[in-house]
Amino acid sequence: MERDDLIVNDSYSVQANHDEAHGKQIRKKIYFVTLLLSAITTVEVGLGIFIKQGTDFWPVVKWSFIAMTLVKAFYIVAVFMHLGDERKSLQYVIIAPYVIFILYLLYIAGTESSYLNELWLEFKP
């Protein structure tokens, strides 16, 4: 009995535009994104190790963590989850709710943290 799930003729790779130049381009893109994500992660870890909480520079570090995390999330979704290959309208339909939700969470976190800070200062002896 012959298996029908195996493609044995070489015409499949030609029909699907799977040539070596296209493969090199895809591998180059994957290597670039992997190195970029590794570099961003290294910077995040370095900032977390060397800059201590409570310094004047700490709010900038926190916002840089948020920005770098969003850049990493963009590249992961665009390249590894292949959303970058889709039409712009589909990208916007998928990404827009997440962006709105993230902005909402940032707003709530900022509002509640300032409120809790005011409460803490009231009850602090």
Using a cut of 0.95, tell me whether the model's pTM lies above it: no
Average pLDDT over residues 12-28: 72
More confident residue, 22 or 35: 35
pLDDT of residue 114 exceeding 90, the answer is no
pLDDT in tens, 23-67: 888 889 889 999 999 999 999 999 989 988 888 888 889 889 989
DSSP state of 51: S
Residue 40, token pair as written in the block: 């961003």
Average pLDDT over residues 8-16: 55
Q: Which residues of 46-75 are buried (b: 16+ CB within 10 A; e: fewer)?
A: ebeeeeeeeeeeeeebeeeeeebeeebeeb
DSSP H or E segment with residue 93: helix 88-123
Given this model, what pLDDT does residue 6 score? 60
Average pLDDT over residues 14-26: 73
**What does residue 19 show for φ and ψ, rounded to 5 degrees?**
-100, 170
**In the chain, what percentage of residues exceed pLDDT 90?**
28
